[in-house]
Amino acid sequence: MTLCPGELCPKLRPDLIEELPARVARLQKARFSARYSDETDTLTFRFEEEQPAYYERFDSNVYLERTIVDGCIIGLKITHYTERGEGAVEKVLIAIIDALFAPPGTTCPADALTRAFLEHLDLPRLLAIAA
């Protein structure tokens, strides 16, 4: 039996997950990578191949990597990782969860980041593992 993400967790915002089935092909091509630099004490997560991009501040030491061409989020980086990385990851995850469970029609600061994660994560599999 196949369940759509809304059936797995009916409280998820439908506007954030409505296109999830269509994203499967993109998910198969996604190239998630994580890289840490000792020199800059920076952890970088990238969902897509590196391309011309700019960084937009998300939090004090968290930056979203957006493509120059269309502004899509292709990754994020966390600076001062050894001293503030755990708190930064926690803030990102809390913001994503808050966006997912906000009332329908709500606009949250993390909506774009949440959409980027949902485009690159197999949500039904993740929810099944968590259950």
Residue pair 47/65 in contact by the 8 Å Cβ criterion: no
Position 19 scores a pLDDT of 62
Q: What Å distances lie between residue 113 and 15, 71, 108, 116, CA to CA?
A: 14, 12, 10, 5
pLDDT of residue 83: 96
Q: Is the dihedral of CA 99, 105, 111, 117 positive or negative?
A: positive
Paired with 73 in beta bridges are: 66
pLDDT at res. 30? 58
Each domain of the chain, given as residue ranges in start order, spans 23-121
* Rounded Cα gap, residues 120 and 105, in angstroms: 23
pLDDT attached to residue 50:
82
Which segments in the chain show pLDDT lower than 50? 1-6
